[in-house]
Chain A
Amino acid sequence: MKRSIKQYIAATAFSFSCLFATAQNADQIFKAAGSPATPKVAVSWNRYYDHAGITEILKKIAAAHPDLAKLQSIGKSFKGRDIWCLTVTDFKKGNADQKPGMYIDGNIHSNEVQGAEFSLYTAWYLTETFKDTRFIQELLADKVFYIVPTINPDGRDSYFHEPNTGSSPRSGVIPVDNDRDGLVDEDGYDDLDGDNEILMMRRKSSTGRYRIDPSDPRRMIQVGPEEQGDYEILGLEGKDNDGDGVVNEDGYTFQYDPNRDWGWGWQPNYIQNGAYKYPFSLPETRAVMDFVMKHPNIAGAQSYHNAGGMILRGPGDPTDQVTYNPQDVQVYDIIARKGEELIPGYRYLVVHKDLYPAYGGELDWFYGGRGIYTYSNELWTPYLMFNKDATRNPQDNSNFNFDRYLLFKDAFVDWHEYDHPQYGKIEIGGFKKNFGRAHPGFLLESDAHRNMAFTIYHAYHTPSLKIDTVTEKDLGNGLKEITATISNNRIMPTHSSHDLKYKIERPDYISISGAKTVAGMIVENADLNITREQTNNPEQIEVANIPGMSTVTVRWIVQGSGKYSITVDSKKGGVVKK
């Protein structure tokens, strides 16, 4: 009884605060440029949401904007959580699944959480600014966004709700026998002090190689080669649970890597650490693959990771240079260079060369397997702390200074004593899991906005087709020549060069109806009248590609007169009629 009253009070308080957040009087608010002033769905963008939280926000967006957003589950995680996809477009204009599509996901690695908030922010921003921003209206008339905030909901919740470091778990939660002893997850981290954080262990030692930094006693520094230290570092919080003489060697935090489970250049785990059984052997990656296979209109894709401030493209496989051919790299370069400009502190890099070799990654399959121009952004960079270069090394003094002067020491657990069963008297302390890779609250919204702007630029440059001109010429004998020029006035072609090489997607169809067609041809050079005839089924001319910022011209010879119409049908370029 008591409990339900408490719940009732809490619920009322909550709904009151919601009212407050949303029901401010319009004349109390002065709109800040580029942000929705009175959004229908109020969301605080300075904190993180677990899977239930994400689910609720998505449902609210879909309910508040039924003509702009539709929510569906594209599959279930290993533990049965829904993998949500919010489709955002102007549903009143055109067929959503025929518009050039931009796919966005986040959180493939469990601890790389803010990709979900960045994706959610994008969905929220597009739907809330639609009302008074003409660019967004035009964008959603022409394009469709498929937004999947987390493709790893099990891992996300386990990162938040289980004791972890900022770097764990990377994996999903399917149990794996990492040390191959026949037992599963028998020796993981231990939250010795019970604070839901996995911190560092240190011990006083006359032969230690560390000492306390006099300028900040929270920080350990390594002593010089001839100096004597007074502490040793024992590693991450844990003990030898199974008595095999090793600490933390088989936990749930690194079972496998969901970003090594994709069907292009996949390699087994002895070559690519983290690979699971075979491409798409994990239910979450499989759900995404199924969705992408059913949506050939997806022309651009973005996957959000952390950290380091990077805009990454493939290849991840150093032996796969041929896939990323010069024509496609040109498209990649143009869009990513714009990204560097829009997101200060982020650099455009190539996975295998600038990061590390990675086989079977998501971005490689999207591009190699489906011909989709795809980036992975590594969100958060230490640059954002003081708007100047810094390192991500937790021992870097700027981390301590940032925590001290801007976060008021909220990100650090002070060293405290603990009696360890194997190590004896030790101390436990260190940075919390929400620091180092995840954005601190006050920087979350601004970086989400900048990254969103990059994906909008990317989406904007998916193909946009138009039937520019249709001209007629009388050939005599009741014959007429009809010439149509189709333009693509964006950077991306309807087929990436890699797509063309393997014929991944079918050709674009340019067809005429309502006229008796005698012959049809592609005009290769209008000035010199060089054409290539298509003898079979001339009503529907098959064009391999409509290049970016360019045109394609086709011609029919028809008999008789009368009304006719021309249709361009491209999987990645959309459908247009004249």
Chain B
Amino acid sequence: MNKMLVCILGLFVYSSLSAQSGYSNFATQTNRIQALAKVHPKWVKVKSLTKTNGGKDIWQITIGSGNTETKPAIAVVGGVEGHAPLSTELAIGFAENLLLGITSDSIKNLLNKTTFYIFPNMSPDAMEQYFASLRYERQGNAVSTDDDRDGKNNEDGYDDLDGNGKITWMRVESPVGTHRVHPNDPRVLIRADVSKGEKGNYLLFSEGKDNDKDGTFNEDGEGGVWFNKNLSFKHPSFTQGAGEFPASEKETRALLDELFERFNVYAVVSFSSNNNLSTAYTFNPQTANAPILAGWLQPDTKVNSLVSDIYNKSVALKDAPASAATGGDFLSWGYYHYGRFSFSTPGWWVPKTKPDSTKNEKAFTVEDAAANYLRWAGQQNISNVFTEWKTIQHPDFPDQKVEVGGIDPFVLHTPPYSLVPDLVKKHSSFLVKLAAAQPEVDIINVKTEKLANGLTRITVDVINKGALPSHSKVGERSYWVKRINVKVNNSSTQSIISGKKIQLLNALEGFGSTQLSWLIKGNGKLSIEAGSPTTGSKTIEVTL
């Protein structure tokens, strides 16, 4: 009876999921996450790592089977940047997608060999702004901060001057303007290039007033610390959103504490504006040889290329915008400070548009992201993404013409929801293929040679059956990454004459192997075990 109820509940939940018509706010995210655990208790565990200052849980979904800690694992992280609801959608969507297929042998086999740790939203405080009555791109959590370091907190945030419930832009006519109108799209402003003799006629600001009269607009609004600036690699101390020191925030520490105890994680995949999936990092000897490592080590860049190929084949998005991790970011932390293969993608970006000749569009004479977006949105019949410029009275510019309008918040990196199911499917397929390449230890070519009375030489190859190495090169240096332990379990009547009882291997390359041998005195059987958290383990029995 109870089981029935669960099933019905499950069906109900699924039907409501498929009816998902827009991005999920935090309450809906939580419902979707809880539903997974309820419907699939055998495969899914959900726990809260901590609550943010805004009172929101940081959820962790563990998907796997049996003792999940003994299986190589991928960590999947969304909400790395609070203004990107797509990232959370991709993370939860992946979990849902995986479990939709749980009746198939391929997914069951996958989950018997691989564990997924999914952290759908690291910025729940900030992300709620997407759904708020006043919508603006926010990355800071609910901690009160002094962004401009003047001794006062949150004293100059945005102001919705035109009362449309979203923060857009504000342009002020000025003879010393920094911006001019885009030659191919009069809705868009672009920076005037003084070095080319161009003259600007607008000053451009985000929408708001100088509430504290310090000469700067909107420099210290509500919130907070940005998760993607709060990590320890090249922490941008004393800049807006960074936090007073690395990992200053509860949610940051909760995730790090959790991951440092999960020794089986071999790869971290996060969804953020930082991108090394559509384009892999290349080897830079200067940064990779610096005393403070600042570039991927050469063998690891090769792994990045391999994974990037898998990504591009699975997802097939072109023309990714250039992206550089600027410090304090999660992508860099995953590699440099966690010592694992770390990958990140925005998950979606605006395609490069071609002029539509039927609409009399011409090629852009100046490349600009907003202009390209508006052309793409027009071609796709996506409306309601631009606010027409409208003149307002501005207290800080009493005698100047001030207009509010411009491209809407979020749209440049947040696709219409109708595109999301397909993006979830493609990214799920990528993650499953990445798991198929995971390191896996095996012991093969077991050879025993009887040398004399009761003396046997055992020779084996310890191999990695996976395409990915057992550890990243940087991980080989870190004491938060376990080595491969090869152990001989001999009985008290058997003694090891040569070779080590316990032997630690730093790593095994993708499809790599190491030969080991021992001289054993005695008779009967013994076993040899090889393994590490990121490779799983394998035990063989040998008869002397």
Contacts and interface: CB of A to CB of B under 8 A. Distances in A.
Contacts, number: 106
A264 B212 contact: no
Interface in B489-506: 500-504
B502 A242 contact: yes
Interface in A337-372: 365, 369
A293 B244 contact: yes
A1 interface: no
Interface in B207-243: 212-214, 232, 235, 237-238
B307 interface: no
A496 B397 CA distance: 38
Interface in B472-498: 474, 477-483, 485
Given A271-B291, A279-B247, A369-B237, A181 B479 contact: no
B53 to A, nearest CB: 15
Contact of A271 (B235, B238, B253, B292): B292
B245 A536 contact: no
Interface centre among B146, B232, B485, B501 (most CB of A within 10 A): B232
A262 B151 CA distance: 24
A270 B244 contact: no
A296 B63 CA distance: 45
B479 A280 contact: no
Given A269-B478, A277-B260, A536-B212, A243 B502 contact: yes
B247 A278 contact: yes
Given A181-B485, A264-B237, A278 B244 contact: no
B337 interface: yes
B246 interface: yes
Interface residues of B, number: 42
Contacts of A271: 291-293
A95 to B, nearest CB: 19
Interface string A311-353: 0000000110000000000000000000000000000000000
Interface string A264-281: 101111110000011111
Nearest to B259: A277
A264 B501 contact: no
Contacts of B238: 502-504
B150 interface: yes
A365 B248 CA distance: 14
Contacts of B256: 277-278, 281
Contacts of A474: none
Contact of A279 (B246, B292, B339, B503): B246
Interface string B274-300: 000000000000000001110000000
B237 A502 contact: yes
B149 interface: yes
Interface string A385-423: 000000000000000000000000000000000000000
Interface string A175-194: 01111111000000000000
B257 interface: yes
B271 interface: no
B336 interface: yes
B244 A319 contact: no
B526 to A, nearest CB: 15
B482 A268 contact: no
Interface of A: 176-182, 242-245, 263-264, 266-271, 277-281, 289, 293, 318-319, 365, 369, 502-504, 506-507, 535-537, 542
10 shortest interchain CB distances as A-B pairs: A506-B151, A263-B245, A270-B477, A503-B149, A502-B238, A244-B502, A536-B213, A278-B247, A180-B483, A268-B337
Given A180-B504, A504-B149, 14 more contacts: A176-B479, A182-B485, A243-B501, A244-B501, A244-B502, A263-B244, A267-B292, A270-B478, A277-B256, A278-B337, A369-B237, A506-B150, A535-B213, A537-B213
